[in-house]
Structure 1
Amino acid sequence: MIIRIMGEGQYRAPEALCDELNEIDNRIVALVTEGKNDEFRTELARLISEIKAKGEAVETEEIMESDIIVPPEDLSLEEARDIFKGSGIFED
């Protein structure tokens, strides 16, 4: 799976990582729904950190379509309400 972090590039993510990211994504959906801004920001930072740490960066010369687009870490709670809803950005 190819994941783009807005403003930071693309990463290849193995299936095991995608399962872990989906769990974080589900927590983010719940936190956004509950309006818990600080906790939401912590989990979004964790999501991005896990992608960078465990994914494989795609070279900038390589042009690939992204399967998932992760918003930047400075996303507001209001903006997140439009993105992190239902099953989130990672489909179950």
Structure 2
Amino acid sequence: MIVRIMGEGQVDVADGDLTALNKLDGELEAAIESGDEEKFRGALHALLEQVRTVGKVLPAEEIAPSDLILPPADATMDEVRAMLGDEGLIPD
């Protein structure tokens, strides 16, 4: 699955890693719902770091259609809230 982190580029994430990413996505959603900025910031950074850790960075010249688009690390809670779908940032 090709994941784009806005402002950073694309990474290829194996389907087997989606369960862990979905858990982190759920934590991010919960932080947004509670309006807790500190938890939101931590959850967003944890999600992005996990994608960077498990994903294989695609070369900048290799542009592939993105299956998922994630916000940048400095996104605001309102910006991320606007990106959320019915299943969060990462669908089950």
Normalising by structure 1, we get a TM-score of 0.92
Unaligned runs of 5+ in 2: none
Aligned-residue RMSD, C-alpha? 1.1
Pairwise CA distance, 1:61: 1.3
Pairwise CA distance, 1:86: 3.0
SS at match of 1:69: strand
Percent of pairs identical after alignment? 35
8 Å contact from structure 1 (residues 32, 84) kept in 2: no
Q: Does 1:79 align with 2:79?
A: yes
Distance between the aligned counterparts of 2:31 and 2:84, measured in 1?
A: 9
Aligned pairs for 1:28-67 within 5 A: 28-67=28-67
Unaligned runs of 5+ in 1: none
Q: Does 1:91 align with 2:91?
A: yes
Normalising by structure 2, we get a TM-score of 0.92
Pairwise CA distance, 1:85: 5.1
